[in-house]
Structure 1
């Protein structure tokens, strides 16, 4: 479930607060930004808040500049750009006086946003700290309940269930009626926290009670949340009920136009209903790609706005002759220093290279041979094991043929020996052999003629790269579904691998030998390979091979 529910409250709260002095300001950008915000056009609102911020900065109106920064921060967080949201909120802190009660509402909203963005970045320590600070500056009971709910949710996500339960009980006791949004939200989270801390506890009655209140109030967002929690509870207890609530969640998430919740619901349905997994898996991958593209576009747009603003500032500064002179002098000095540094570095590297040239040549030969042994023998054996495991009825003749082929490949390890004539068939057979009842691997868009205009050396490198990825999927990912999509145009061959496994939390720290081998392979044929987190869980690997490259 997305964690941005209370950001909508903050946006409307800030809008009501902003009008108190707006008539005394002549900043038309500021008013226009709120007009777009009222119409839920957040992208345009962001642009005009940025323009208004520069006017307030020039006029030394720190409070209004800070208000613009907060609104831009909240919009960024709401768009999934949590780092930018966190950065803008951090900049806004210095614009307000925490001893001035008239500024408490803005300070409160800023800390709420910092708590939510930190939570989404899994920085629970700071998320708790900022949520407690927001509670300190809450101006009324409703604001306090929002801050308390966010704080308890963070404790729950960080598996600190005792603290979460204590706060949820406090929220429920402070709720004035049972027919509002706060009470069923707190009741749902309290019950879920109890269940997570004690698996023998049954949350069903209380979850259904919260769902009933939300249905009476026609609270679709709340109903969406209730069905998600109910499906999670029944996931390993009653697959029929779990599937029922997952389908309900999917239908409601489409009504409220929440792509994140649609993805969550589809993932549940795919897991619970294997008979129709292909239909829902295609919907899942299409929606995931679309959502990722949309978020990347938003991030790029905000980055361009920031870039344009900085360029304008730089241009204005350069119009002053004395600053321009300083820039030129500094630039010349930097160029001279860089050139001298490069010359010195080149000379030292050259001298060292001459001394170690033979040693490096020996090491490279060893690495190359080790790499070929890994590809032909180790991964070949593992591939054969998986093939036998997934096809227990395989006859001995095929097994012996496979062993003979691997023998031929390893007989002269300095020469690659996968026959060109049956490469296309062996390639697709290699991929599908990793599919089993527990792990589905779907090749999408694959045709035998896709290898036209691709050199045989490149074909081999792609074969070993894909096999390395699938071996790691089988050994480590815990994925239930994986797909390998092939696309080709006049310029590039593109291969996209996607799974819904545990993914890699920190790509830079967790890159092992296997990942580095695949990167080296693709680079050796002039291609590009990227590893990234699947926004809905799991891993995405994208490979691009330029067809017109001199390497192909």
Structure 2
């Protein structure tokens, strides 16, 4: 069943992004054509060429489409967080006011709904499906989106809401036979889940008959699964029959996920003396699926790294060629510059000597101000956020947090090393969770124990306070609904990327103490920070620093 859902995801993505008023397919790009030729045959190669071509495109709708296709391939491989990252990239290139973009907007939000459903984040899935419906212009696509939304309500146990959605679809006059069978089967299954006494067999069998007539193998696979579940408690022999049919169809479709599901049913229903071959096959299949998914996830990450590395090497080569052409001019400028620097240095030394004491005083005040802002102000804001959005607050934990904040405020004048009793990975998770609300969804990628093993404690504290400052600014000023934080270790560096879909930084923005402190901390860590802000696309902050840092 999971493989069927993934196939529907990819089909919807391809259908939605191509139903444009103006054709947008990238037919003149060789790398794009190569990617298309590998699609559904060797998906890692397709991903490689999509990722390669996306950096050469100019048309925003083409860029969005390629990111959408890459996300679908990642979802197919079970890399849901990587898929969400590429979908957010796709959304950055789309304009809801442009009618050419609405189909890809609908497809992106549908895919975000599907990944959220697979991650069992049901509230987020409903939110994204509603956004997808907002931009859907095709009746068939709308019916697919409503069916997906009904599936979410079914999964979370809200059967009445799911039934209401299926009832609204099934009476549509323009519903094709395969669509009708799908909705009928889902509706009957939902009614049965709500009331196990409901006679769902006639509707389930009707849906199966339509799918057989339409030669819908994937639909038959789903019907056999529903019928096996339905008869399991009351007619085990019938349940066993349909589980066997599902197993045969899944093998014909070469769908390991559905084959594994059918084997689970057979192991449960078959006579004891016939179970062993099913169990052996299930163990082998389950291990193969997990191995393949892990391999695909790593392969996608390596592909993106290799393409980015090649682009950087090409840019470096171009820069070296350009440097050779201006070398003589630079040498002359250097000579004149040295003379000017010597003159300026004389005057600067005099001024520096006079202002030295004043600068030391200002730096000390700035250092104390930064401590107060990061430790006390942002700490209080984090506690207030938890009080505001968490339905239940344990008094003892709250008192511990306030006492911890009090002790930190008393120790501001001392340089005490931080202590993370539960591990720094957990510290980051708790920090992000304290800012997540019903309206703000926060995703994180790459935060694991191995990442932080060689990082100095002082650097970890800097990272925590920097991330806390970004989240506080997001909460106060950005109106963001989605936040993504990604960590990555590459070539002796830690790369951290913060992204939100808020209003970004104002054009005439003057950094306050918080952002100034953030920039100062990055410099102290021998790192780099860049801000990429757009009022329509949100804010992106890239940070990098060495893995081993001695303060």
Q: Normalised by the shorter chain, which TM-score bucket?
A: 0.5 to 0.7
Q: Which digits, 9 at most, give the CA deviation of each residue in 1:54-88, with x for residues without a partner?
A: 112xxx43322211111100111122221111111
| Alignment correspondent of 1:209 | 206
| Alignment correspondent of 2:114 | 116
Q: Which digits, 9 at most, give the CA deviation of each residue in 1:250-296, with x for residues without a partner?
A: 01111111110100000110111122221111011111111112212
Matches within 5 A, 1:66-85: 66-85=64-83
| TM-aligned CA deviation for residue 44 of structure 1 | 2.2
| Alignment correspondent of 1:35 | 37
CA gap of 1:124–1:198, structure 2 versus 1, over 3 A, is same
1:231 corresponds to which of 207, 223, 228: 228
Q: Which digits, 9 at most, give the CA deviation of each residue in 1:336-387, with x for residues without a partner?
A: xxxxxxxxxxxxxxxxxxxxxxxxxxxxxxxxxxxxxxxxxxxxxxxxxxxx
Given that residues 192 and 229 in structure 1 are in contact (C-alpha distance below 8 angstroms), is that contact kept between their aligned partners in structure 2? Answer: yes
Given that residues 175 and 182 in structure 1 are in contact (C-alpha distance below 8 angstroms), is that contact kept between their aligned partners in structure 2? Answer: no
| Alignment correspondent of 2:144 | 146
Q: Which digits, 9 at most, give the CA deviation of each residue in 1:106-139, with x for residues without a partner?
A: 1111111111111101111111111111111111
Q: Which digits, 9 at most, give the CA deviation of each residue in 1:173-232, with x for residues without a partner?
A: 11535x622111111111111111112212111111111111111111111101101111
Q: Please list every run of 5 or more consecutive structure 2 residues that lacks an aligned counterpart in the other structure.
A: 324-551
| Alignment correspondent of 1:102 | 100
2:185 corresponds to which of 166, 170, 188: 188
Given that residues 110 and 145 in structure 2 are in contact (C-alpha distance below 8 angstroms), is that contact kept between their aligned partners in structure 1? Answer: yes
| Alignment correspondent of 1:221 | 218
| TM-aligned CA deviation for residue 34 of structure 1 | 2.4
| Alignment correspondent of 2:291 | 293
CA gap of 1:254–1:62, structure 2 versus 1, over 3 A, is same
| TM-aligned CA deviation for residue 18 of structure 1 | 7.5
Q: Which digits, 9 at most, give the CA deviation of each residue in 1:494-533, with x for residues without a partner?
A: xxxxxxxxxxxxxxxxxxxxxxxxxxxxxxxxxxxxxxxx
Separation (CA, whole Å) in 2 of partners of 1:31 and 1:253:
31
Q: How many residues align?
A: 318
| Alignment correspondent of 1:284 | 282
| Alignment correspondent of 2:125 | 127
2:12 corresponds to which of 4, 10, 13: 10
Range moving further from structure 2, 286-295 or 264-273: 286-295
Matches within 5 A, 1:319-358: 320=319
| TM-aligned CA deviation for residue 318 of structure 1 | 5.1
Given that residues 15 and 34 in structure 1 are in contact (C-alpha distance below 8 angstroms), is that contact kept between their aligned partners in structure 2? Answer: no
| Alignment correspondent of 2:253 | 256
1:246 corresponds to which of 243, 246, 251: 243
| TM-aligned CA deviation for residue 140 of structure 1 | 1.2
Separation (CA, whole Å) in 1 of partners of 2:146 and 2:235:
33
| Alignment correspondent of 1:366 | none
Given that residues 30 and 48 in structure 1 are in contact (C-alpha distance below 8 angstroms), is that contact kept between their aligned partners in structure 2? Answer: yes
| Alignment correspondent of 2:426 | none
Separation (CA, whole Å) in 2 of partners of 1:126 and 1:155:
12
Q: Please list every run of 5 or more consecutive structure 1 residues that lacks an aligned counterpart in the other structure.
A: 324-552
Separation (CA, whole Å) in 1 of partners of 2:117 and 2:22:
32
CA gap of 1:142–1:25, structure 2 versus 1, over 3 A, is closer
Relative CO higher for 1 or 2, CA cutoff 8 Å, sep ≥ 6?
A: 2
Separation (CA, whole Å) in 2 of partners of 1:244 and 1:13:
36
Matches within 5 A, 1:466-477: none
Q: Which digits, 9 at most, give the CA deviation of each residue in 1:151-180, with x for residues without a partner?
A: 111111111111100000011011535x62
Separation (CA, whole Å) in 1 of partners of 2:19 and 2:98:
15
The answer to whether 1:54 aligns with 2:55 is yes
TM-score, normalised via structure 2 length:
0.55
| TM-aligned CA deviation for residue 316 of structure 1 | 4.7
| Alignment correspondent of 1:415 | none
Given that residues 69 and 92 in structure 1 are in contact (C-alpha distance below 8 angstroms), is that contact kept between their aligned partners in structure 2? Answer: yes
Separation (CA, whole Å) in 1 of partners of 2:173 and 2:293:
36
Given that residues 18 and 24 in structure 2 are in contact (C-alpha distance below 8 angstroms), is that contact kept between their aligned partners in structure 1? Answer: no
Separation (CA, whole Å) in 1 of partners of 2:209 and 2:228:
16
Separation (CA, whole Å) in 2 of partners of 1:155 and 1:170:
14
| TM-aligned CA deviation for residue 20 of structure 1 | 4.9
Matches within 5 A, 1:476-495: none
Separation (CA, whole Å) in 2 of partners of 1:312 and 1:19:
36
Given that residues 266 and 280 in structure 1 are in contact (C-alpha distance below 8 angstroms), is that contact kept between their aligned partners in structure 2? Answer: yes
| Alignment correspondent of 1:358 | none
Q: Which digits, 9 at most, give the CA deviation of each residue in 1:428-465, with x for residues without a partner?
A: xxxxxxxxxxxxxxxxxxxxxxxxxxxxxxxxxxxxxx
Given that residues 175 and 183 in structure 1 are in contact (C-alpha distance below 8 angstroms), is that contact kept between their aligned partners in structure 2? Answer: no
| TM-aligned CA deviation for residue 312 of structure 1 | 2.7
Given that residues 27 and 55 in structure 1 are in contact (C-alpha distance below 8 angstroms), is that contact kept between their aligned partners in structure 2? Answer: no
TM-score, normalised via structure 1 length:
0.55
| Alignment correspondent of 1:45 | 46
Separation (CA, whole Å) in 2 of partners of 1:215 and 1:251:
14
Separation (CA, whole Å) in 2 of partners of 1:23 and 1:124:
33
